[in-house]
Amino acid sequence: MSILTLPTLSRTCASSAIFSLVPNTLAAESPLNKTIQTSELPGARWKSSFSYNNLTDADARIFKAWINKLSGRAGRFYLYDFSHQTPSGTASGSPLVKGAGQQGRTLLTDGWAASQPKLLMPGDYFGIGQQLFVITEQISSDGNGNATLIFEAPIRSTFPDNSAITINKPTCVMALATDEQDKFLFEERNKTSISIDCLEMF
C-alpha cells in the first residue's frame, strides 16, 4: 500500500492539533528504598491528534473516503506539525547532509546560505527521508554555508552523503492509532466534525 498524503480540502489546516515527540524510557523502582532509575531506549516517536470542525458536506465526504482508504491501522500517511509548518529561522539555501553514516543528536550539513546567525531556531523542524527532527538550539551557518544541526530525536538510521534536507512542511509517516477512527460527528446546518489520533510508524 502506498503512503498517502492528507486529503485536499477547501481549508488549508486543521481546526486544532497536538503534535508531540514521545520518548521511549525505562524506569525501575527499588522495592527497598523506592529510588527510581531511568534510562533512555531507542524508539522515540511522534504522536498527533488533530481535528477538523464544521467541515462542509463536500469536505466531509472527501475526508471520510481518505480515512476509509487507510484501511484502519494498516495504512500509512505523511503528516507535519500544523502549528509550525515553516522555520522561524532564515533557513535559506539548499541544505544537504555532509558526510555519510552520522548518528546521534547532531548532524553536519552544508549547502546553506553563508554566515546566517539565526539559520534555524529552537522548535524548527527538518526532515530527511522519512525521519522528522526538531531543532533544540539556535543554529548558525559559517562562511562556507556549513552548519551543525542539534536536534531531537536521535537519528534512527544513517543517511547517505548529500541527502536532501526538507525544511518546509517536513513530515513523518503516521498510522491511525486504532482501527476505529471513522467517527464523523454530523451536526445541524450540514456541518461535520472529525478527530484523528495517530502514531509515527517506522
Q: Which one-letter amino acid corresponds to residue 144? A: N
pLDDT at 181: 86
Domain ranges of the chain: 16-82+172-200, 93-152
Q: What is the dihedral of CA 70, 75, 80, 82, to 10 degrees?
A: 30
The grid coordinates of residue 53 equal: 470542525
Confidence of residue 95 (pLDDT cuts 50, 70, 90): very high
Q: What is the mean pLDDT of the chain?
A: 95
DSSP letter for 82, please: T
pLDDT at 1: 78
pLDDT at 201: 97
pLDDT higher than 70, residue 189: no
Q: How far apart are CA 31 and CA 172, in angstroms?
A: 40
Percent of the chain scored above 90 by pLDDT? Answer: 88
Rounded to the nearest 5°, which phi and psi values hold at 94?
Answer: -125, 80
SS3 call for 74: helix
Q: Which one-letter amino acid corresponds to residue 64? A: K
